Structure formats: structure tokens, C-alpha cells
Structure 1
Amino acid sequence: MNPLLALRAAELAREHIRENPGRWGCLAALLLFGPPAACVVVVVFLFTALSGASGQSAASAPGPGAVADIPADYLVLYREAARTCPGLDWSILAAIGKIETDHGRSKLPGVHSGMNSAKAGGPMQFLQSTFDSVVARHPIPPGGAHPPSRYNPHDAIYAAAAYLCDSGARDGRDLHGAIFAYNHAEWYVRKVLDQAQKYNCGAVQAPSRAAQAAITFACAQLGLPYVWGGDGPGNGDRGFDCSGLTKAAYATAGIDLPRTAQTQYNAGPRIAVTGIRPGDLVFFGTSTGHVTHVGLALASDTMVNAPDFGTPVRVDSIRRALGATRPADS
């Protein structure tokens, strides 16, 4: 359940345990019944078929943004390669592929042949020595070039999964460190986590078309700046504030919400916070008469959120919610 929060790599590592019950269920099943590979396959099937997970587990499903942006053959490779490393989500591989070469679509030197100025090559931008070392330790499954080539998408993506796994991604031990090993820069780690989050966001089965439309819109706004009173680029603002985002999200479904968090809460229909579903609005404040913040639920424990000044639209955990409403039922 969910890629990956901006400027919060350390917090993401802590939250990963709490927000990924599927992983720990997998480990429990492994202890009782069998090998890791079988357990991972079961979790991938269940989450994809039943819930469409969002977050950093190998079982997470692609969100609408991922399906629209990633070439189909690359998406298959990212998901299959991630399964070779328990705890590595496919979206991390996809985010690296996006940042490095736009999934092989970049026309820059070193993508399809030759090298760039850093001597890296191929869709995942491997140094030849690094690629050879990885392949020597982790034979690439059939389906690529003979011998394996860093320019072959199949070989490069499987090698990237193995490299990340060796560097700390296995079982989520140190995802931040694994990405940092791939490219020694904190900005790179943050960029990968942000992109992975975008690819995962919205991979949920909302209970209604209206809720699904609101979620799809909100996920497409990830990374936009927080702007006090902001109604988004469609209305001439660089970004959103919390209630501007939720209002704009439901406007895409033909539902006209009031403009502020308090008035959105008052508009209802109210539901118990114990029954939050994808698409519900989640409210925060000191009392029902003093509601100061609102987010759009992706699940019972996560939401798309325009948090505050200096922090962009992102996916956050739901903590200490004051109340919730279900505009899709209004």
C-alpha cells in the first residue's frame, strides 16, 4: 500500500512498515508456507486484483498517470523486474527510468548507443563496469540480448532491480540508501521518490465514478506548490491550497463544493472517520466549528494533500482526523 514522500525519505522509511501491511503479511505467510518468490507473487495478484494498492510494495498497481506515461513494454518490465527483489516497488524502477532517459525515449547521447559525458549508457544509464558487475552476480533472466547489454531495456531494467536490491532496497531495509547509491545526490533521491509517488497515486478502486474522477484529478496535481487561496493552474494560480484542491477535484466530476475547509465540512454528507473510503474528504481542526484543513482520501490511511507553505501537493498519512464527508453521495 503505498512509491515515496518528497523531502521525507527518513519518514517514508518509518511509515513504510505501518502503511504496508501486505508486506508483513507476506513475511508471515513465508514463515509458515514457502519461498519468498511464491509469497511475492501471491501478494502481487491479490493487491492488483482486489484493491489496486498505492505505495511502496512490489504489489502496488500503476495509477492512471503511470499507464498514460510509461510505454506498455517498459511497464511490464518494471513490474516483472521488481518482483525479483522483495520490498522493491516497480514504481521506483519506473521513476529511475523516467528520470534517466524518459523510458528510453530520450534522444540524448548514450541512450541507445555510445555514452554520455559521465560514460553512462542505456535506458537505465549504467556505467559499463557497474552493469558487468551486476550481471556477473545476478544472471539476467531470458528475454534480452545475448550477451546481456546495458542498451537492451529488458537487461538494463533487471540489472537496475538487482543493483537496487543489493544496495538496500531488499525488504525495504534502506530504500533511500539504495536510490542514493544509484546516483549520489539527495536531489536525485527526492526526485525519484516524488516520481514514484505520482506513478502510484490513483491506483485505487473508488466506489463511484465521481470519486474516481476526483482522485484522478488530485493525483495529477502532485508536485504543484501550495498557494494560499490557490485554485490551480486552470484558474491562473501556480498551485492550490487544501480546499482549492478538493474543490477543483470534485468539479471534474460535476460536483460543486464550497470553497473553504469549514464550508466543505458543513456541506456533508458526513460519515464516520472509521469508514473512510477512496474519494472521501478528510477534515482536521480543533472542533467541528473550527475546521482548518481538508484532504482527499486515497484509502482509509492516506490522502492527497496540499499541506502548507513551502510543501507541494503530495500523498500524506491520515492522522487524527476530526471528521469526514462523502461528496460523491451528495
Structure 2
Amino acid sequence: MRKWWVGIGIGIGLGTSLLGLLFFATFTIAGNIAGGARGAVGLAKGAVPVEYQPLIEKWGNLCPAISPPLLAAQLYTESNWNPKARSPAGALGIAQFIPETWAQYGVDANGDGNRDIWEPADAIASAATYDCALAKDVKGIPGDATNNMLAAYNAGAYRVIKAAGVPAISETQGYVRSIRDLEKSFARPVGRVAPSQQAAGAIYFAQEQLGKPYLWGGEGTAADGGRFDCSGLTKAAYASVGIELPRVANDQWNAGPHPKRDELMPGDLVFFAHNLNDPRSIHHVGLYVGGGYMINAPHTGAVNRFDKIDTPDYIGATRVTDAGAKALPRANGV
């Protein structure tokens, strides 16, 4: 994606010595904070569009089986925050309710006298209400209560009860795993975020691309002449260590938890947005290398280079995990 601001470059000749120190720092820090986060409460700053944050924080605490990050993960997976989404299966709105299910569980949360499947205030409250109803249906079943609730959401409460837990259905098991992994990318960490074990390899790949001209839409293929745009570069960097990220920068935002600015480590993805309250407005991404700098493909007419990250449009960072990347919805087929 295009980056409109021009940061302060660092000479490419510094690359080898700088990256050598960064690799050492990456693994030193990783050793010091191994063990990572000790759980999370609430939503990470900027994790969801600001207009939905109060609704998710309110209704995400409706019952013990759900949380705001879990509810956010479900909504993002179902509709990517699109309140007008329609699926080929007939699911509607931001929470993707089938009309028959809506007729039973839809609520008038905003008090306007109308249970409106297209109104996010009603639909988000109804999604939480439905989750909690399912949690009640499978209460007492062995295993994790939230996992059982998610399995009931996907396969039906009867199958969870019959299996005495998450049933041995690959689609259901994958759904539960994906939502639980994606939940972490919406959660506000308590304590430090666990370090990435693949960070050094991703940085090494990006370092090798320094000096190459930017190409809008570039993915580094032979047809592209080995050139990248910003998200093409970060995607390829993590692909080099076996992690498949989505193609577009704002889709890469949810590929893992979000460390604070003073907790950044080499290998974190750093993001820039037009609206700091809305991750959908992310327009640029780079690969953090330490010291306040990133490697990035800046814009047409520039080359891949080091730039400072501390600019007015910096929205935050993501520490990429393999599980987080795999949990991301690939195409918005809604």
C-alpha cells in the first residue's frame, strides 16, 4: 500500500552492522521475557473501529464464557466490521445472523422499538446474547466453557453435548482454534507480549531487499522484477520463515497481539493509519528493526530503506505469530 509521508532515511551501508546488533538484541530480549503474556483483559488500543468499541466492551462481558476480545474476534471473522455484509448462505449484518436465528435471539439493544439485524448496536448485543445462550446450553460439559460455546455456535449444542466437549469435526475444531487464536490480537495484554521466534529470519529477508525500487502491488516475483510495495515486503519477509500473512496491510494488523510502543522488538510489524481510531484506515506497514526504525517499501519513486516509525500516523504494532496468521480470514466472502 502507498505511503504518503517520506521518513528520514538511514544509509543502506549501515545495514549489515545494524542488523547484526538487532539479531543479538532480539534473542537477548526474548530470553529475558520468555513466558510472555499472562492473559489479557479488555480490548487493545485501536484493535477495533472506535464506533464499535463501547458496544463490544459492554456486551463482551455479558456472561463468563465470552469477553470483549472474543466477541471482537467473532465479529471480525464474520463480517470484517461490515454492517451491511451479506453471505451466500443468507447471513446478514455485522454479526452475520441467519434470519431464523435472529428471530429467536435478536434484541433491541438501542431501545428504538425495532430489532434491526442491520443495526450494529442491536446485532452486536444479539451476538453476545446468542453466545451466552449457547454457553448455558452446554454448561456442565467437560472442557473449556468458551471452547464448548464456540463449538456449539459452529456445530450445534446437541453435538457438543453428545461428544462431551468439542466434537471431532475438523471444521468445528478449526473454528474454535481460529477464534481463540484471533482473540489474542484484540486483547489488551497484561504483562509483556511473548517474543517472536521467527523475527530474525524475517528481518534478514527484509534486509536483503534494501535499495530495491518500490513497486505498487509488487510481491517480489520475477514479473515484478523482485520489487515490493509495503505489505508485499512484510508478507514476503514472514513467508520466508514459514508464516503466511494476508496481502493487504490492514489485514495483517490482526496477525498477533499488539505490543505497546515501549515494548517493541525487532520483527514486529508497525502500522500507519489515516484515522488512529480505526484500523480499517491503515495505509502502510513496515518491519521494526529497533532503535525507532523500520525497514519498509515507502512509496513510488523511493527504494526499500530504513525510516523512523514515530510519525503522526503511527497507529501501533503487531507481534506476528503463526497461529495468529493462520486464524485470519483470508477473503471477505460475505
TM-score range, shorter chain: 0.3 to 0.5
Larger RCO: 1 or 2 (CA < 8 Å, sep 6+): 2
Normalising by structure 2, report the TM-score. 0.39
